[in-house]
Structure 1
Amino acid sequence: MCLALPALVVERRDGDEALVDLGGVRKSVSLALVPEAVPGDYVIVHVGFAIGRIDPEEAARTLALFAELEAGR
């Protein structure tokens, strides 16, 4: 099974690198597959690579579902 998570692009870095925020966790990822992504965009991240852009409303719904799952633990 694969898991890809929505993350907010915080800043672009050198080359194809970017800093993203996922629920307060910041991580460097590659934007090589989504070169048009800019700070403020949400991207789907899988194993250190942004694999697509996602609508902010869809990202919010997905993140809310993850928060529900976490609360039910």
Structure 2
Amino acid sequence: MCLGVPGKVTAVGEDIHQLAWADVCGVAVRINIALVCEGSPQELIGQWVLVHVGFAMSLLDEQEALETLAALQHMRAVGLARDDEDANALR
């Protein structure tokens, strides 16, 4: 299964065909903003986007981005707990 992850745009190139940078869970990631840039690329700095395979697929409002990040962190925690249970069952 593939997931998009919220990222906050931190820097952009000169035009929509250049790569931008986004903070995705604390990691600086290069992304393509062509799908979401409708005006000046500079307007995207500080905006939340849904990042999938290196592309900003859509714009997100901050609440939606933070809720999605929280849900992903919860899913990770559940997965780690299940891994621990499985490891204990094998002992």
TM-score scaled by structure 1?
0.87
Higher helix share: 2
Percent identical among aligned pairs is 38
* Structure 1: stretches of 5+ with no match in the other structure: none
* Partner SS state of residue 44, structure 2: coil
In structure 1, the partner of 2:29 is 27
1:56-71 equivalences under 5 Å are 56-71=62-77
* Partner SS state of residue 15, structure 1: coil
In structure 2, the partner of 1:53 is 59
- Bigger shift: residues 8-17 or 21-30: 8-17
Which segments of structure 1 move beyond 6 Å, counting only runs of 4 or more? none
Count of matched residue positions in the alignment of Structure 1 and Structure 2: 73
Tell me which structure has the larger Cα radius of gyration.
2
Higher strand share: 1
* Structure 2: stretches of 5+ with no match in the other structure: 81-91
